[in-house]
Each structure stands twice: as structure tokens, then as C-alpha cells.
Chain A
Amino acid sequence: MKYKSQKVAYYFFAFSMILLLLQVTYGFIMAFAHMGYDGLHEWIPFNAATATHKNLLVVWIISGFMGAAYFIIPDEAETELWSEALAKLQFWSWAIVGVIAVAGFHFGWFEGRKFLEIPRPLDYLVALNVVLFLVIILMTLLKGKRQTTTAWVLTMGLVFAALLYLPGMVYFENLAVDSFFRWWVVHLWVEGVWELIMGGILAYLLIRLTGVDREVIEKWLYVIVGLTFLSGILGTGHHYYYTGGPKYWLLIGGIFSAMEPLAFLGMTAFAVQMYRKGNKRHPNKLALYWTLNTAILSFLGAGLLGLAHTLPQVNLYTHGTLVTAMHGHLAFWGAYGSLVFAVIAYAMPLMTGRKIYDNFIGNLAFWTANIGMLGMTAAFAAAGVAQVSLERLAGYEFMEVAKVIEPHFFVLIIAATVFTTGILLFMWNFLLYGAPSDEAIQPEGEPVFQVTT
């Protein structure tokens, strides 16, 4: 760590870890309910549990992004944060709004809009908070000594993510119009601007971890985010097939969303190529594993499993079934969960001075978390395929099918236990790093393990 103010990132990372733990808890509540054990129904009905599970997910990921930005932008811009005090204020207000939102779900204070359940009055507070965050980041970038492509791609991703939240705050009386704009948030986030954030963070990590020349990495970064928007914007159409839109979306959405995996494949090729070209001298192996993991699992979860149900002929039958949940889990985990873990694994040793680079707990966390998540994906896949065959193809009633697929949720719970073990081990490591300290400051920055070509 080169700058004192980068330490603010620690708060966001710690908050992110706590929320993840809570998210997983609600996952178990829902998995048990699907198995027929909904003993908590009186206090936490399924719709409160889903709202909590999905929103905690979004908030822990965004907290991770914010922490990443506070760590990366000073480093890239070669300057202290514009205001460390405001950054702390931003953190506490963010945390308070987040906690109120999640608590509110348990008292029925929500909106029935998947992923955007946070009630509108709170939306305004979220928006205000995010504006403060962006001002801090932009001011830092502008006063900095240099403005790198990596920093700009990351920052523009954050700015556009904030702008795209706005269409989700309007109330439309026609449910189909409401749904249309809900996708401007949900789809254009995960298959659009969040990929900018992902690309920016990956580029930063690869520059540091592999020592490959910045110009080479940033050139490919442009190509990847170019592919993202080329396919992802019109790819929104894959949500407009069967929600009241006109027929042409079947063609446009089908063609363009089928090209979206290219951007993710680009990320994979990008990371793996840079790793191979790079020298293998950077000692932080855990950060490198998580970085490569992000590049590979995002292609599996978002790219391949997205492709599996994105064509309109297939989606007609899988739309709104557990097949979607299968894809949702591996995509979110592989692309964004794993990315946050990569940043944490990279930044923590630098912030705290504790050189936990390749320890046993960290390695075990890596393998159990990922194997657990792959198991969960398989369980959802089995449940989803059975549901589609029985309900959509053979015409059995929903609840008849729900009974038949209960055993898959038992498998889900076992795999989720493995996954959760991995998460807990990662958090154990997180505690082992200790708190950030000024003694960890390296005025020259981290030694660069530049490749000599």
C-alpha cells in the first residue's frame, strides 16, 4: 500500500464479508423451505427471505466494488483519496441504509420487484450516498498525477451503474412497462456496466500480479468491454421475449445475447494469456488463484450456462424456472463474488503488512468454496431440468412437481454446506490478516515484478 487513505477499503471489505455470511444464511432458509421445512414461516416468510437473499447479494458485491475502487484509484492516480473523512462518512451512511433496508424486509417493507425490493424512500438515500461515493472517486482521479485507462474504465463502470439505477426507481402502472425498465437495471448491470468494473479490476490485478506491460493489458481491456456492449445492450432483448414486448425481440435478443459469452470468453483468454506471458514471481498466489478463477468461472456460469437458455426456443420452456436459478448462482459467484474475493486477497496483505500469500487455510477456502458452488449449480440444474420436463413439457401442476424435486434441495443443502465452509475459511483468513496499519505503507509502492521483454 502506497497511500494512507487506501485503508478505507478495509471497512467495505469487512462489511461485505458480514453481509455475505447473512446472505448464505437466508439461502439455507429458502433451501429448507423448498424441501418442505418452512418452520420459520411465521417470522421470515419465503418472500422476506428471497428479498433479503437477493439484496444482501447486491449490497455485498457493491460494497466489494466500492472497497476495490477506494483501494485501486489512489494507486492508479498516484495520490491520496480526495477526502478520507468523507469516504468514512460515505461508508457509515451506506452501512446504515443497508441495514435498515434488510431489517425492513422482515416487517413487510419492500417492493415486489425482484432484486430491486428496496422501498423507494430508501432508494433516494442510496442514490445520495452513491453520488457522494462517485464525487470522491472522480475528484481523486482528476487531482491525480496520472489517469490510466484501467482507472477510467473502472470509474465509468461505477458512474454508469449509478445512472442505470434511476430507471428502477420510477413507478409504472403497467406491470409490463415496470418489468421492461427493471431489466435496464438488472440486465444492463450484470451484462453491461458491471463488466466494465470487472474488466477494470481484472486489468489492475493482472498488471500487478503478472508484470505484463500495462499498454498490452489495457489494449485488450478495450476490446473486451467493446464486445460487452456490442452484444450486451441489444442482448437485453432476451428478457423481452415473453414479458409483453413485440416479436422482434425474439430475433434481436436471441442473436445478440448469444454473442454475450464472447466477452466472457475474452476475459478468460485475457487473464490466462497474461498469466502465461507474465513472470510467475509475484508471491501472492491466493490473489492470483482468485483472479484466474474469476476469469474462468464467469465464462462457465454467465457465458455457457447463460447460453444454455438464452435462445427463445429454449427460453420459452425454461423461463422462470429453477434453470434460471442454476445460472444465476454460478454467474453471480463466478463473475462478481469471486472478483471481490480476488481484490480482498490482493489488497489485504498490502494494507495490513501480513504476508498471507499461500497459506493452507486460504487454499482450502479456495477449493471448498468453488467446489461447493459447482455442486450447488448441479443441484439446481437437476431440479430445474426436472421441473421444466414435468411442468412445462408434460403439464403437471406446479405443486405436484415441487414434491417430486424435493430431494434435489437436499443435495443443494449438502453442496451449500461445503460452499459455506469455504466462505468461513476465507473469513478466517480475513481475520488473520488483522487490521490495516500505517506501518504497511510502502512509499515506493509495491515492488513491480516487471516482465523483461
Chain B
Amino acid sequence: MKRTLSKVIYNRGISPSYHLLGLRWEGRIDPGQFFMLRPWSFDRFDPLLNRPFGVYRVFEGGIEILYKVVGRGTRIMTGLKEGDEVILIGPLGRGFPFMEGWEEVSIVSGGVGIAPFYHLIQWIREKGSFPALSLYHGGRGEEDLVGIEEFERAGVTVNIATERGTRGYRGLISDLFKRDLEKGKVRPSAVLSCGPKGMLKEVALICRERGIPCYVSLDRMMGCGIGTCLGCVVRTKGGYQRVCMEGPVFESEEIVWEEL
């Protein structure tokens, strides 16, 4: 069954707004898939709905979620303690593709959008594949640069942009990525991206202009996460599709960006 009562192994802050939550879990997870999590008890109805989260890391007997505090639900989540029980539904949706022929892959992420990619890299390495990997990660400032060292340790070329210019390129990560593409510093066979809507649109456009296949993970408010409520749809060339079932990862050319 894909619905379990899981237990909190640990929950700790790693920066003022980013936290790591370790949960008991066993099974196979494709990179980019997600879980619906209820960080409070079933009979507390405000907030009412479960929250979707990707998987940052998979370890023996558990998963780690990297989360950012953005509202009430994630604030309540910071109060979870070792041993607490939570409803965990998943793994759900369709994750990132990875094709054997890809020699070089660029990842473009913004803020907490970095979350699904550490697991992706773990997974690629475990498969015994060694494409050249570059990460383009952006944020407002230092506070959005979590987990960067782990990517470096995993052999990923890391490029940083901050809007305030406190580290790396000053400005938007999509601009840095575009500049590097123009200079020929990276020549990705495919681009994988997750982050704020504006960034995703920009990355999709950059890839379209150059004919590079691009896959984006979309963030939508979800009612159920399992395909029943039809609340999380996005407009695609083939009509409305559910982010929770047909996504969260879509080929960027499928999305009708003007309506996102």
C-alpha cells in the first residue's frame, strides 16, 4: 500500500528557513517523485490538506525531505519531533527522465527547487552512469544556498547566482545559465529544472531557442495528490493534465506557458 504511518527520525533547521526532515520509509522511489505528507494529526482540520514534498535524499530505512518554511503548514512542520507519527502517501507522480545517451546534463534550480536533485544525482550514480553534471542554483542570498557542498562532493560542477550578489553571479540564475550556454561553457544534452514559475518559464524559453530537451517539475497546490480531485491541473498542449499524476515533471514543450 502506498499509504503509511511513518515515524519522524529527525527534524532540524539548517538555516533560518530551511529544514531537514528524516522519515521512516522503505521502497523504491524514482527521482522527482513526491509524497503527500500530513505533518499534523489526522483530526486537526486547520490546516486541512496534506502537503506535497519531494525527496531530497534516500537512505537505509528512510527518506529525507528538504523543506522551506513558507506558510502555516511548513511552520507547523518545524515542530515535528523524533518519534512523531505522520501520514505519508507515496511515492507519487512521474519523476525526471534520464536517458543513457545523455552525455551532459544541466540542472537549473531556484530556492528550495534544489530539493529533488540530490536524490536524482544519487540515483544516476547508483545506476553506474557518469554524465557530466552541472548545477545552476540561484536564490535571493546566502540563505537560499543550502546543500551546495553535497553536490560538489558528488562531483557536480556548481554555479551560483544570488539576486543580492552575496555569492556567485549577481542576478538571476537563468541569466547565468544562458550566458554559459552562449559561451559554450556547458553543452547539455538535456536540462532539468525546478523552482519558481518565472525561472521555469525563462529556462524553458532558453532551451526552446536552442532545441535542448528540457524537463520541469511544477509546484501546484494539491488537494489529494493521488489524481482524484482534479485540483492541480495545468494546461498542456493535450489539454488539462494533473500535476500529481501526469507530472510533477513535464517536458517543457508540453506546457502552455502563457497560462501557467
A and B interact physically? no
